[in-house]
């Protein structure tokens, strides 16, 4: 009798597990699950291009000047919400793709929405109807005139 196990015995002990592993690999390589797993990988691998865009606020006697660096963002992806003492800049990106497979009679649809916003509080009330914005070469500039206060004489 030898200390080495018989080659036949070794293969027969591991054969059920090899078959199970092979079956599991086949399941994960099938199109529905493979596509699902790939989309999860894409979600975590693709960085959100405008997740934390930088914003700078400068103030003069007559206005606030807000600049936001939004490189790679299209003008129609930017929304501005103007309120009495703050401005919110929102950047949205919506993508949708559809793939049809006539052989398997299946349709694969994929949609994604990415949104990021920054709210800039202002120290004084503003003239909401006089706010102007310009977007050029990835730089959003917002000109916000200040509301003129009223000074009262004490009698």
In a domain, residue 2? The reply is no
Q: Answer whether residue 23 is part of any domain.
A: yes
- Indicate whether 30 and 90 sit together in one domain: no
Helix-helix angle 7-29:31-45, to 10 degrees: 70
Domain CATH for 128? 2.60.40.790
Same domain? 98 vs 28: no
Please give the residue range of the domain that contains residue 120.
Answer: 55-145
Does the residue 50 lie in any domain? no
- Residue-by-residue pLDDT tens, the chain, 155 positions: 555 555 444 555 556 677 777 777 766 666 655 556 666 666 555 555 545 789 999 998 888 999 999 988 899 999 999 988 899 999 998 888 888 888 887 888 888 888 889 999 988 888 888 999 999 999 999 999 887 777 788 98
pTM of model > 0.85: no
Within 10 angstroms of residue 87's Cβ, the number of other Cβ atoms is 23
Tell whether 38 and 87 lie within a shared domain: no
Burial class for 78, CB neighbours closer than 10 Å (0-12, 13-18, 19+): middle
Number of domains in the chain: 2
């Amino acid at each position: 009798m030898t200390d080495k196990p018989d080659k036949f015995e070794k293969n027969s002990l591991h054969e059920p597990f090899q078959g199970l592993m092979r079956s599991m690999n086949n399941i994960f390589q099938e199109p529905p699950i493979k596509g699902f797993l790939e989309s999860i990988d894409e979600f975590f691998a693709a960085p959100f291009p405008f997740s934390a865009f930088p914003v700078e606020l400068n103030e003069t006697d007559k206005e606030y000047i807000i600049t936001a660096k939004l490189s790679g963002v299209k003008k129609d992806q930017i929304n501005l919400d103007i309120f009495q003492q703050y401005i919110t800049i929102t950047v949205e990106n919506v993508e949708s793709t559809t793939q049809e497979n006539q052989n398997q009679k299946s349709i694969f649809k994929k949609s994604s929405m990415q949104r990021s916003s920054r709210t800039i509080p202002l120290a004084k009330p503003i003239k909401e109807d006089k706010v102007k914005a310009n977007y050029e070469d990835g730089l959003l500039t917002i000109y916000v005139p200040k509301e003129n206060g009223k000074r009262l004489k004490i009698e």
